[in-house]
């Protein structure tokens, strides 16, 4: 029988009992440290045990807020769980790296503000009231999955947004590109007049694992794989299906104590891996060799390779689950930050795909960073759910020759499905897809701001590099809601196309757009949306292809 002891999650995991007297002060202290710490060292998880908590929960950078119940209704926060970007004059375009999951929020005023941009997922959450996705300034895209909002969702200034298997009374606000998969009351409107994409079913999906405390025991709940998943959440009928993995089956890692060697030893011994909040400086690659291993990130744990080696490599054949990780390039250039599979290998099985949730990769901004490619998927049958792959456009050590990165994502495997793919600012193609039968539900990308000259930014096809590149030999690929934006800050450069793809019947691309962000050098922009189709965004603000 598993011992009923509290796991040692370290000092940066705060666990709250219902009615705890000093809860508000502890939460406020974390927010004070993290509110404006965009590139800070702090990492935190705030975990709420089942019951009612009458607290206000503001959320800053690198803060993961989660209920510990089997169902969202087991934990009620009788107060807002919010972020509004007051640190940036309510401009939420840099409100990154924060998360909420598995609880019910009952804000006294009936309104909950979640003004965020990339890498700020809200999952498995019940909002008893209205949800506002922006404050008084800009906001630039987010991710909502398995959530129920009793009132209206007000998107406000959100430029783009991806929602999956969620529902609300009404959705208001449509701007550039909004995609809804399996959502109740998705907004009306038809492309291209309205930038709305509605898809009733997800072909294959698994919800993110979550941490549970019940009957005095801790475990990680792994939801089941679903096929042709239709409208609505997984939990509203009172179900919590899946496998409960006791915490004793996890190696609980702590930054500063655990090394690549200790974590690899645990993985080889058959343990799952739970990474607690912190920055893990890796002198070697973490390698997942065993099928059905769970790598669970709690509180935005950050992996940084310091010797130029790959940070994380999955060599198991199938069934691995990776969730909640940040991977930063180090000062020594890394060829690839994260790899799923091995070059030339075609592992993967449709009955038991590898699933990846809330994966963030970064090159620069926090300090020196260099990588050729952020993520490569060699294996087939991989399901991704919320990726943000970002070459920094601001922060420290940022410049064309400083934080170098050619490509965000390269897919070599077949039958790879991604929901919510955000890739930005890399110096060649942002995404290269060479595998067959790939599927992408929502794509958001900004081309690099800083090409110094047109000569420095030319592909074999001509001027610039298309953001979304489907390989010339690919026979079948499908994507919905593909948006490519530009703001060429340093030179008057042009990209011939935002998207490049073979022209053949098996390539099905739906709802494509390019957008010219504000400013930029006169005469710069994107000439076509797809290959030689679609208008320019050099003088025009926006171009669309149906």
Cα 317 to Cα 82, 321, 453, 466, 540, distances in angstroms:
40, 12, 44, 32, 48
Query: How many Cβ atoms are within 10 Å of 296's Cβ, its own excluded?
Result: 25
Q: Is 228 a catalytic residue?
A: no
> Checking DSSP bridges between strand 438-446 and strand 525-530, what pairing results, if any?
unpaired
Q: How far apart (Å, rounded) are the C-alpha atoms in residues 404 and 326? A: 18
Q: What does the DSSP assignment read for 45-83? A: EEEE-SEEE---EE--TTEEEEE-SSSGGGEEESS-EEB
Q: Which of 521, 398, 392 is nearest to 454 (CA)?
A: 521
Q: Which of 543, 409, 415, 386 is nearest to 469 (CA)?
A: 409
Q: Which residue has the tokens 């208008």?
A: 535
Q: How far apart (Å, rounded) are the C-alpha atoms in residues 524 and 526? A: 7
| Phi, psi torsion values for 25, nearest 5 degrees | -70, -40
CB neighbour list of residue 92: distance below 8 Å, 6 or more residues apart: 83, 84, 85, 115, 116, 117, 134, 135, 137, 138, 139, 140, 157
Give SS3 for 33. helix
> Checking DSSP bridges between strand 438-446 and strand 417-424, what pairing results, if any?
parallel
Q: How far apart (Å, rounded) are the C-alpha atoms in residues 287 and 316? A: 9
HEC letters along 238-294: CCCCCEEEEHHHEEEECECCECHHHHHHHHHCCCEEEECCCEEEECCCEEECCCCCE
Q: Which of 130, 207, 446, 500 is catalytic?
A: 446
Q: Report the catalytic residues.
A: 446
């Amino acid at each position: 029988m598993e011992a009923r002891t509290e796991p040692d999650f370290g000092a940066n995991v705060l666990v709250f009992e219902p009615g705890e007297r000093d809860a508000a002060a502890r939460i406020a202290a974390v927010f004070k440290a993290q509110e404006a710490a965009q590139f800070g060292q702090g990492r935190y998880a705030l975990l709420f045990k089942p019951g009612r908590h009458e607290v206000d929960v503001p959320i800053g950078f690198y803060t993961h807020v989660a209920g510990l119940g089997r169902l969202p209704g087991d934990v009620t926060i009788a107060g807002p769980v919010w972020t509004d970007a007051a640190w940036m004059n309510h401009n939420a375009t840099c409100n990154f790296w924060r998360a909420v999951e598995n609880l019910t929020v009952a804000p006294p005023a009936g309104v909950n503000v979640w003004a965020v941009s990339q890498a700020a997922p809200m999952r498995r959450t019940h909002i008893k009231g209205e949800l506002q996705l922006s404050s008084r300034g800009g906001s630039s895209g987010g991710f909502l999955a398995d959530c129920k909002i009793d009132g209206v969702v007000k998107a406000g200034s959100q430029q783009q947004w991806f929602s999956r298997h969620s529902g609300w009374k009404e959705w208001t606000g449509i701007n550039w590109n909004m995609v809804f998969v399996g959502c109740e009351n998705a907004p009306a409107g038809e492309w291209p007049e309205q930038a709305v994409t509605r898809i009733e079913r997800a072909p294959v999906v698994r919800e993110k694992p979550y941490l549970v405390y019940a009957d005095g025991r801790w475990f990680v709940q792994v939801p089941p794989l679903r096929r042709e998943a239709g409208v609505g959440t997984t939990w509203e009928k009172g179900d919590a299906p899946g496998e409960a993995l006791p915490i004793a089956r996890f190696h609980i890692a702590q930054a500063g104590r655990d090394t690549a060697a200790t974590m690899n030893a645990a993985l080889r011994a058959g343990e799952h891996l739970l990474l607690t909040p912190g920055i893990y400086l890796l002198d070697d690659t973490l390698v997942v060799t065993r099928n059905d291993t769970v790598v669970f990130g709690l509180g935005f744990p950050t992996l940084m390779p310091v010797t130029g080696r790959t940070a994380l490599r999955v060599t198991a054949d199938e069934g691995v689950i990776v969730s909640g990780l940040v991977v930063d390039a180090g000062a020594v250039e890394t060829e690839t930050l994260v790899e799923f599979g091995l070059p030339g290998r075609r592992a993967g099985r449709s009955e038991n795909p590898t699933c990846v949730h809330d994966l963030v990769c970064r090159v620069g901004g926090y300090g020196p960073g260099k990588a050729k490619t952020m993520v490569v998927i060699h294996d087939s049958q991989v399901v991704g759910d919320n990726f943000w792959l970002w070459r920094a456009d601001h922060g420290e050590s940022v410049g064309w020759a400083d934080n170098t990165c050619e490509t965000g994502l390269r897919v070599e495997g077949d039958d790879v499905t991604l929901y919510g793919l955000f890739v930005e600012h890399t110096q060649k193609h942002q995404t290269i897809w060479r595998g067959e039968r790939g599927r992408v539900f929502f794509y958001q990308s900004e081309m690099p701001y800083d090409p110094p000259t047109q000569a420095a930014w030319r592909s074999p096809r001509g001027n610039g590099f298309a953001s979304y590149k489907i390989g010339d030999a690919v026979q079948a690929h499908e994507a919905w809601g593909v948006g490519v934006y530009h703001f060429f800050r340093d030179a008057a450069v042009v990209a011939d196309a935002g998207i490049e793809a073979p022209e053949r019947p098996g390539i099905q691309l739906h709802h494509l757009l390019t957008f010219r962000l504000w400013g930029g050098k006169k005469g710069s922009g994107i000439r076509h949306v797809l290959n030689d189709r679609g208008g320019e965004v050099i003088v025009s603000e926006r171009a669309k292809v149906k």
